[in-house]
Amino acid sequence: MSPRRRDTEGTAAARAERRAELLATAAEVFAAKGYAATTVRQVADAAGILGGSLYYHFDSKESMVDEILSTFLNEMWAAYDRVLAAGLGARETVEAVIVESFRSIDRHRAAVVVYQNESRHLAAAGERFAYLLESDRRFEEMWMSLLERGVREGAFRPDLDLPLVYRFIRDTVWVAANWYRPGGRLAADDIAKQYLAMVLEGIQA
């Protein structure tokens, strides 16, 4: 490995790191104000640079959300796929998936908020965000087959309206990103445990 090459790698790595920093900042601002209502200048201000300077790193405002969301979704699906590949029972899988979801929120809070609030509008806007719909589809597929298997395996009550249960679980999990604060009273895993207790056993005495 020549020094030359080392340099290049160094710069490439530095550049990637800077991008990640800027994206984290952008995600926070998008989450706080909403994507459409956020100006590129606000993102730049938050990053301590000038508006135009962002365009050295990114093609457009759109490509920023794009990268924020796809990075998050890739990581999330990687985690889900590991769980699904583990060959657990339906109930254990559900628990593991929920736990992974709250961990995702823990690591990508801002991205999750953006995902929740903007994904529908973005998907409607153009081809570029088709992967959001695809992810939705996989998500529904995963949950529906999980719930159906759970009923077959006798883990879940047979009288449930499964599509309804799916919808409630889906939304409830992600919506937690709106109030969750990393380092707060409850850690992600605690929240997952409480949430599972509630969903599985109900709140009734």
Partner DNA sequence: TATGAATGAGTCTTCATTCAT
Partner DNA sequence: TATGAATGAAGACTCATTCAT
Q: Which residues bind a second copy (CB under 8 A)?
A: 33-34, 36-37, 91, 117-118, 120-121, 124, 154-158, 160-161, 164-165, 167-168, 171-172, 175-176, 178-179, 186, 191, 194-195, 198-205
Residue 158, Cβ density class (10 Å: 0-12 exposed, 13-18 middle, ≥19 buried)? exposed
Cα-trace Rg, the chain: 20
Is residue 124 a contact point for DNA (CB under 7 A)?
A: no
If we measure between CA atoms, which residue out of 122, 120, 121, 110 comes closest to residue 178? Answer: 110
Looking at residue 202, the DSSP 8-state letter turns out to be -
- Binding part of the chain for DNA, among 36-44, 76-84, 94-102, 112-120 by CB under 7 A, reads 36-44
Is residue 56 a contact point for DNA (CB under 7 A)?
A: yes
The overall longest dimension of the chain from CA atoms, in Å, is 69
If we measure between CA atoms, which residue out of 45, 181, 163 comes closest to residue 105? Answer: 181
- Binding part of the chain for DNA, among 39-47, 109-117, 138-146, 184-192 by CB under 7 A, reads 39-47
Is residue 9 a contact point for DNA (CB under 7 A)?
A: no
Binding-site string for DNA from residue 144 to residue 183, where x marks contact by CB under 7 A and - marks none: ----------------------------------------
- Binding part of the chain for DNA, among 7-15, 76-84, 157-165, 171-179 by CB under 7 A, reads 7-15
- Backbone phi and psi for residue 98, each to the nearest 5 degrees, phi listed first: -60, -45
